[in-house]
């Protein structure tokens, strides 16, 4: 502008100089004279237009018009350039490790309750978007649970607290950390400090807590929402050693579970799934799983033999087995122990079933494993002592049970510590209570009156990530970082040290719990801790002085510490030189007094009431800690297939007797407490038992979880120093009204169709293709040719336990939306891979089979031919592609899909609340409203690995590409690969005789195939495979 102004000024100046004779150079006398007419002519000389002779003429001249038109065209097209309106700045100094568009993977770990996982965290542009199992981690060996996947979404939970807060009246007001720290230190200095926290799996954290205790004289108490103190206390009573044994299912030929849902929720189910499945692979001797239980659990659904007993009868079964083996059979060294024999006397009258099991157990001595579990039994010391004794008698201790070499770490929490804290508070010995890692106001059952205790404490400092049930009753909320935002470590198994790396800077003004502890202790003058300004420094120093120092020269500790640390961060796990995970550890001396005491205690227990209520954990929500993660709320229970609710499960008989319909409201009463819940009629449930899931009924968890279900723990009673989660004498009454439970599955019988093919082990040995009914298929057309790759998948139904971790892995990988309870009931669930569960045989005692179903990528895809706009087509590598952009949404493809795997975007599901959008995987399109979607066999991963191989100039190897479901599967039931490569794992799997295709007779030629399920039993319940009487030929 300035320059223009200058020119104008100049021209003005010139015109003032236009006096007569002032022109230095002149062309004519007229010019020299400054003749007005000449001046006018000179002005117009170069400005006339052929179409606009007269300047005063109105309208636009041709040139002007063209000029303006050109300019406006330029302007409009300029407006079309998609340049952001806001200022953007490119990376001036790009972080070395971040390449936009490329994912970075960091080793880390995650502890869910006491179940630990080695993780690989996938980050994109600095934000974690997915976790994958760390393949070389002994705790999970690449497998992950659904909950571990949900851990990512928990990071981006919009309901998290954004900074420290202090309670004023009924409101929480924000406060700065430095101000708050001073206040807290002043409060802590008053003394009488107690800390209530979840079990610690970290020596580092424990040593820090020791320092903290020293500084403030604090007492530390541990309790877990999922409490397994019965086992550790039983170990102490029997062997004098408080330890959580590592159950080695891998080495067990015969597994007997009494209510222990080892494949669903018990202790470390992900690892158990893996170990169990190792022994289901048919190339080695197959294990046998026998389950006694009241409710139908995931483990029970997988059992080779399942017997229905009430939870209160577990002791009868266990002691009956002992009686059969010791007294009747006269087996084992205890057969000479009169004290033991006497205590078993009362359990002489066992059923034939128990006798048979006793016989089989003894036949498998040293190679068997007996587990008693369930939420109740896990903290029932006496039951655990008896079970441990049975293992002892069978010689399993030290073989399938490792409590010596490398037991599990953690599990330090117990009800007794909670009770001790209670006594202390009641005696006014607690002024300040710090609560970390547990939400006791929710997870401690109401009968314990924990909530009342909090009001007796002057100041409660809570480090939870939100103002939840406990947060609301606290004085200070000092929110800890999410595990993904913080450093940490965990010793999941003795000697197996994992590191937890932060993969994102804290999203909010939160601070790690350990950093808080460090800060408070330092401010209060702890000299030792003042050497460390952050928890990270402390952690590093601790590792240098301990794990590194003790293992110098071993593995990654060969070089200096910096090298060790680098190696640790890369590998994520360090197994110390002395760790022995494989070999047997030898037996220990069992204290039989513990047994006799336990037996007499158990004998005195009795129940009153028409029904026996058992409270249980679901594999999605478990104790309710991740309840606000929508993926888990919409994660159907592996057995009932219901999500978004808890419900009282009743047997077929109860439903028949009381004329109940699914979803009717029931009143369940235990003692003086009652809850109103909808009913679910559960085939295979013991007629006297009622089931109700814990983990629901959150009131302050956040938008997702609040008001979903009822808080079942209200019915748990507290007596003899333990909670009663099972064996609760209960009354059941129908009340007005009913609701529709969100059941993902529409029908539960295979209707005699060949869907899941099952065979007994004997049948399989005789004929590996047993029970598969092959159809004669002929076609007018020649087969499709695939020159390069031909992707396919094989799913081994014999390995698959139905844990459904693949569903959530797929959801995380593929940005699959959650639709909510209402739309699940309306049939609009979006999962790309689903777990179908069918019952076979009699509903009173059914067989159960599980089947993952994803898009089958048919070669003759029925969906492809009917799409009018060719939005779904086949690619030259055998994939059935879906072009979202082209999809108009006629839904014809979904109608014509025999497997019903296509999912439609009924509404606009893209607008998730911030910052949940950060969990989206940028490699997978977020689907718009009105388009169809379905499993792509992780096409994004295929493309990525292919590009990578091309860039590196190598040939793609089998196993380079893993689909998300395959990767997460703890049992390795899913195999993906190139069917054109005859040596690929998928080709080998498909070459097995028990390979079959779902709905083969339709000649859709799916690229996904299934392998028969084999049960180690004499007879299958109900029909096996196809009904041979009918069926097209």
**At closest approach, how far in Å is the CB of 898 from another protein?**
4
Rounded CA separation 817/515 (Å): 36
Nearer to another protein, 214 or 929 (CB): 929
Token pair recorded at residue 440: 């006791």
CA nearest neighbour of 521 among 60, 863, 925, 184: 184
**At closest approach, how far in Å is the CB of 296 from another protein?**
17
**At closest approach, how far in Å is the CB of 880 from another protein?**
14
φ and ψ at residue 306, rounded to 5 degrees: -130, 130
3-class SS of residue 664: strand
Nearer to another protein, 119 or 296 (CB): 296
Give the number of other CB atoms < 10 A from CB of residue 661: 10
Nearer to another protein, 903 or 990 (CB): 903
**At closest approach, how far in Å is the CB of 376 from another protein?**
32
Element (H, E) at 598: helix 592-603
φ and ψ at residue 758, rounded to 5 degrees: -120, 150
Nearer to another protein, 524 or 1002 (CB): 1002
**At closest approach, how far in Å is the CB of 153 from another protein?**
23
CA nearest neighbour of 261 among 378, 353, 355: 378
Rounded CA separation 991/610 (Å): 54
**At closest approach, how far in Å is the CB of 451 from another protein?**
41
Nearer to another protein, 398 or 852 (CB): 852
Kindly list the distances between the CA atom of residue 720 and the CA atoms of 379, 426, 602, in Å, as whole numbers in the listed order. 12, 19, 12
Nearer to another protein, 59 or 1029 (CB): 1029
**DSSP state string for 840-854:** ES-TTS-EEEEEEE-
**At closest approach, how far in Å is the CB of 988 from another protein?**
27
**At closest approach, how far in Å is the CB of 514 from another protein?**
47
Nearer to another protein, 46 or 781 (CB): 781
Nearer to another protein, 879 or 897 (CB): 897
Kindly list the distances between the CA atom of residue 529 and the CA atoms of 47, 538, 542, in Å, as whole numbers in the listed order. 86, 8, 12
Q: Which residue has the tokens 């200058």?
A: 6
**At closest approach, how far in Å is the CB of 817 from another protein?**
12
**At closest approach, how far in Å is the CB of 773 from another protein?**
12
**At closest approach, how far in Å is the CB of 908 from another protein?**
7
Token pair recorded at residue 723: 């909670």
**At closest approach, how far in Å is the CB of 834 from another protein?**
8
Token pair recorded at residue 710: 């009822």
Q: Are 840 and 750 in contact (CB under 8 A)?
A: yes
Nearer to another protein, 629 or 932 (CB): 932
Rounded CA separation 830/643 (Å): 13
**At closest approach, how far in Å is the CB of 866 from another protein?**
5
Give the number of other CB atoms < 10 A from CB of residue 69: 11
Nearer to another protein, 969 or 998 (CB): 998
**At closest approach, how far in Å is the CB of 811 from another protein?**
16
Alpha helices in 159-267, H assignment, sequence order: 177-189, 203-216, 229-239
Peptide bond into 116 cis (omega under 30): no
**At closest approach, how far in Å is the CB of 814 from another protein?**
17
Nearer to another protein, 205 or 836 (CB): 836
Rounded CA separation 573/451 (Å): 39
Nearer to another protein, 403 or 1008 (CB): 1008
**At closest approach, how far in Å is the CB of 620 from another protein?**
19
φ and ψ at residue 787, rounded to 5 degrees: -75, -45
Give the number of other CB atoms < 10 A from CB of residue 179: 11
- Report the relative pairing of strands 254-258 and 288-293 from DSSP bridges: parallel
3-class SS of residue 460: strand
Name the maximum alpha-carbon separation found in the chain.
Answer: 146
φ and ψ at residue 869, rounded to 5 degrees: -110, 10
**DSSP state string for 760-802:** EHHHHHH-TTTT--PPP---SSPPP--SS--EEEEEETTT---
Residues that bind another protein (CB under 8 A): 745-753, 755, 823, 826-829, 834, 836-838, 851, 853, 862, 865-870, 886-892, 894-896, 898-900, 902-908, 928-932, 998-999, 1002, 1027, 1030-1032
Nearer to another protein, 521 or 851 (CB): 851
CA nearest neighbour of 139 among 161, 158, 111, 175: 111
Nearest 5°: CA angle at 627, between 623 and 630? 145
Rounded CA separation 316/606 (Å): 12
Nearer to another protein, 102 or 907 (CB): 907
Rounded CA separation 350/510 (Å): 58
Nearer to another protein, 281 or 775 (CB): 775
Rounded CA separation 745/980 (Å): 35
Rounded CA separation 973/797 (Å): 7
Nearer to another protein, 438 or 819 (CB): 819
Nearer to another protein, 262 or 863 (CB): 863
Rounded CA separation 787/981 (Å): 11
**All residues at 6 or more sequence positions from 61 whose CB lies less than 8 Å from its CB, including other chains:** 49, 51, 52
**At closest approach, how far in Å is the CB of 1010 from another protein?**
13
3-class SS of residue 753: coil
Q: Are 851 and 835 in contact (CB under 8 A)?
A: yes
**At closest approach, how far in Å is the CB of 812 from another protein?**
21
φ and ψ at residue 838, rounded to 5 degrees: -120, 145
Nearer to another protein, 776 or 982 (CB): 776
């Amino acid at each position: 502008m300035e320059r223009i102004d200058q020119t104008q000024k100049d021209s003005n100046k010139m015109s003032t100089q236009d006096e007569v004779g002032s022109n230095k150079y002149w062309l004519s006398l007229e010019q020299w004279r400054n003749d007005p007419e000449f001046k006018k002519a000179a002005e117009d000389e170069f400005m006339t237009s052929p179409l606009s002779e007269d300047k005063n003429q109105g309208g636009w001249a041709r040139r002007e018009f063209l000029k303006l038109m050109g300019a406006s065209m330029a302007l409009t097209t300029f407006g079309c350039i998609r340049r952001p309106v806001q200022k953007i700045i490119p990376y001036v100094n790009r972080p070395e490790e971040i390449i936009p568009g490329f994912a970075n993977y960091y080793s880390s770990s995650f502890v869910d309750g006491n179940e630990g996982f080695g993780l690989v965290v996938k980050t994109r542009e600095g934000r974690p978007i997915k976790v994958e199992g760390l393949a070389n981690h002994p705790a999970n060996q690449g497998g992950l649970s659904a909950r571990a996947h949900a851990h990512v979404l928990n990071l981006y939970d919009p309901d998290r607290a954004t900074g420290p807060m202090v309670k004023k009246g009924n409101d929480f007001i924000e406060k700065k950390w430095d101000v708050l720290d001073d206040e807290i230190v002043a409060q802590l200095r008053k003394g009488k400090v107690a800390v209530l926290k979840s079990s610690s799996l970290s020596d580092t954290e424990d040593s820090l807590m020791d320092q903290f205790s020293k500084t403030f004289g604090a007492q530390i108490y541990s309790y877990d929402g999922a409490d397994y103190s019965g086992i550790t206390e039983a170990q102490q009573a029997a062997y004098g050693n408080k330890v959580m044994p590592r159950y080695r299912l891998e080495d067990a030929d015969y597994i007997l579970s009494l209510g222990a849902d080892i494949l669903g929720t018990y202790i470390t189910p992900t690892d158990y799934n893996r170990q169990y499945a190792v022994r289901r692979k048919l190339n080695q001797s197959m294990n046998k799983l026998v389950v006694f239980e009241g409710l139908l659990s995931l483990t029970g659904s997988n059992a080779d033999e399942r017997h229905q007993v009430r939870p209160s009868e577990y002791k009868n079964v266990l002691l009956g087995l002992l009686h059969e083996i010791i007294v009747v059979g006269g087996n084992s060294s205890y057969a000479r122990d009169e004290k033991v024999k006497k205590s078993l006397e009362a359990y002489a009258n066992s059923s034939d079933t128990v006798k048979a099991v006793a016989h089989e157990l003894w036949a498998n001595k040293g190679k068997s494993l007996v587990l008693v579990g369930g939420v109740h039994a896990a903290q029932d010391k006496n039951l655990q002592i008896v079970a441990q004794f049975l293992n002892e008698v069978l010689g399993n201790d030290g073989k399938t049970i490792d409590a010596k070499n490398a037991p599990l770490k953690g599990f330090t929490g117990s009800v007794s510590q909670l009770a001790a804290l209670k006594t202390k508070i009641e005696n006014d010995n607690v002024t300040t209570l710090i609560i970390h890692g547990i939400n006791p106001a929710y997870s401690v059952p109401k009968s314990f009156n924990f909530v009342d205790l909090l009001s007796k404490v002057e100041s409660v400092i809570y480090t939870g990530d939100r103002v939840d049930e406990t947060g609301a009753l606290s004085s200070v909320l000092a929110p800890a970082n999410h595990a993904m935002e913080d450093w940490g470590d965990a010793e999941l198994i003795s000697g197996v040290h994992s590191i937890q790396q932060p993969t994102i800077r804290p999203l909010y003004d939160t601070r790690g719990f350990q950093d808080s502890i460090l800060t408070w202790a330092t401010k209060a003058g702890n000299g030792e801790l003042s050497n460390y300004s952050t928890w990270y420094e402390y952690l590093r120093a601790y590792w240098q002085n301990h794990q590194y120092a003790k293992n110098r020269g071993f593995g990654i500790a060969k070089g200096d510490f910096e090298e060790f640390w680098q190696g640790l961060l890369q590998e994520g796990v360090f197994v110390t030189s002395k760790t022995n995970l494989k070999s047997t550890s030898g037996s220990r001396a069992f204290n039989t007094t513990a047994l006799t005491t336990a037996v007499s205690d158990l004998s005195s227990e009795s129940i009153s009431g028409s029904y026996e209520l058992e409270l249980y954990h679901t594999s999605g929500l478990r104790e309710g800690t991740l309840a606000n993660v929508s993926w888990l709320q919409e994660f159907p229970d592996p057995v009932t297939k219901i999500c978004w609710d808890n419900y009282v499960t009743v047997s077929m008989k109860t439903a028949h007797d009381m004329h109940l319909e699914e979803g009717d409201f029931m009143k369940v009463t235990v003692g003086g407490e009652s809850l109103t819940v909808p009913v679910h009629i559960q085939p295979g449930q013991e007629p006297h038992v009622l089931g109700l899931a814990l983990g629901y009924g959150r009131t302050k968890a956040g938008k997702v979880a609040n008001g979903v279900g009822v808080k079942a723990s209200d019915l748990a009673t507290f007596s003899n120093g333990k909670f009663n989660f099972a064996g609760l004498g209960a009354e059941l009454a129908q009340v007005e009204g009913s609701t529709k439970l969100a059941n993902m599955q529409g029908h539960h019988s295979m209707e005699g169709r060949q869907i899941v093919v099952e065979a007994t082990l004997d049948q399989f040995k005789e004929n590996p293709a047993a029970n598969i009914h092959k159809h004669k298929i002929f076609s007018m057309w020649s087969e499709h040719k695939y020159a390069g790759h031909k992707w396919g998948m094989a799913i081994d139904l014999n390995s698959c336990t139905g844990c459904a971790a693949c569903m959530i892995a797929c959801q995380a990988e593929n940005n699959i939306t959650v639709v909510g309870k209402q739309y699940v009931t309306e049939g609009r669930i979006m999962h790309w891979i689903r777990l179908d569960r069918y019952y076979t045989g009699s509903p009173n005692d059914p067989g159960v089979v599980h089947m993952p179903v994803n898009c089958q990528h048919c070669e003759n895809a029925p969906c492809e031919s009917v799409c009018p706009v060719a939005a779904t087509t086949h690619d030259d590598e055998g994939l059935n592609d879906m072009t979202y952009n082209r999809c108009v949404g006629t839904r014809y493809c979904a109608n014509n899909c025999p497997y019903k795997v296509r999912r439609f975007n009924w509404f606009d599901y893209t607008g998730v609340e911030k910052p949940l959008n950060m969990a989206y995987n940028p490699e997978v399109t977020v689907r718009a409203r009105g388009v169809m979607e379905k499993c792509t066999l992780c096409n994004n991963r295929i493309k990525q690995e292919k590009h990578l191989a091309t860039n590196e100039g190598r040939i793609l190897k089998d196993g380079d590409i893993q689909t998300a479901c395959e990767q997460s599967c703890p049992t390795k039931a899913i195999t993906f690969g190139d069917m054109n490569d005859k040596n690929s794992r998928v080709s080998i799997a498909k070459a097995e005789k028990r390979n079959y295709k779902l709905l083969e007779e339709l000649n859709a030629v799916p690229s996904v195939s299934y392998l028969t399920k084999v049960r180690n039993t004499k007879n299958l319940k109900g029909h096996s495979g196809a009904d041979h009487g009918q069926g097209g030929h």
